[in-house]
Amino acid sequence: MAKKVMVQSVINGDDTAFLCETRQTLLEVLRDELGMTGTKEGCGNGNCGACNVMLDGVLVNSCLVLAVEAEGRTVTTIEGIAPADGLHPLQQKFLEHAALQCGICTPGFIISSKALLEHNPNPSEHDVRLWLAGNLCRCTGYDKIVRAVLDVASAN
């Protein structure tokens, strides 16, 4: 058994200390050590975006981040998106537009879309499609997702 190291991060606003092996990705630690299974593993090699989280406010694939790299960093996952009561507007609009079917890609799309709207509150359809080009969805054909994001943006 490889030696474990202690990592301290702020995850969804909570000071969090965890033990991990250096070879564990942030995705593995979130899911397997911390029980935060909202973040999904899709391809595991940075192509699909299902595992997207925010690391110090920057959108990243958590499957391509070592958990030890999160030392002293802040992490935001899908579990940290909704307010204490109710849903985040993106979650609400994804439901209203039926922008999901199997749902595996959805947490990644929500995180990516949130990052987009923080970067650009009034994106064009082109902007949305470009920003989300690294998130793959096998079910929706993307149109419903793009409409949901644009619907949230239109309220800005």
Which residues would be at the binding site for another protein (CB under 8 A)?
2, 5, 21-23, 25, 44-46, 49, 52, 55, 58-61, 63-66, 68-69, 71, 112, 115-116, 120, 124, 127, 130-135
Considering beta carbons, is residue 30 or 132 the nearer one to another protein?
132
For the bound state, the minimum distance from the C-beta of residue 146 to another protein, rounded and expressed in Å, comes to 14
Measured at the alpha carbon of residue 72, what is the angle toward residues 90 and 7, in degrees to the nearest 5?
100
In angstroms, the CA 20 to CA 9 distance is 12
Considering beta carbons, is residue 52 or 140 the nearer one to another protein?
52
For the bound state, the minimum distance from the C-beta of residue 125 to another protein, rounded and expressed in Å, comes to 13
For the bound state, the minimum distance from the C-beta of residue 89 to another protein, rounded and expressed in Å, comes to 20
Look-up of token digits 């793959």: 136
Phi-psi sector, 34: left (phi>0), alpha (psi -120 to 50), beta: alpha
Considering beta carbons, is residue 79 or 127 the nearer one to another protein?
127
Q: At what angle do helices 106-119 and 89-96 cross, to 10 degrees?
A: 120
Considering beta carbons, is residue 87 or 130 the nearer one to another protein?
130
Q: Is the dihedral of CA 145, 130, 90, 14 positive or negative?
A: positive
For the bound state, the minimum distance from the C-beta of residue 86 to another protein, rounded and expressed in Å, comes to 27
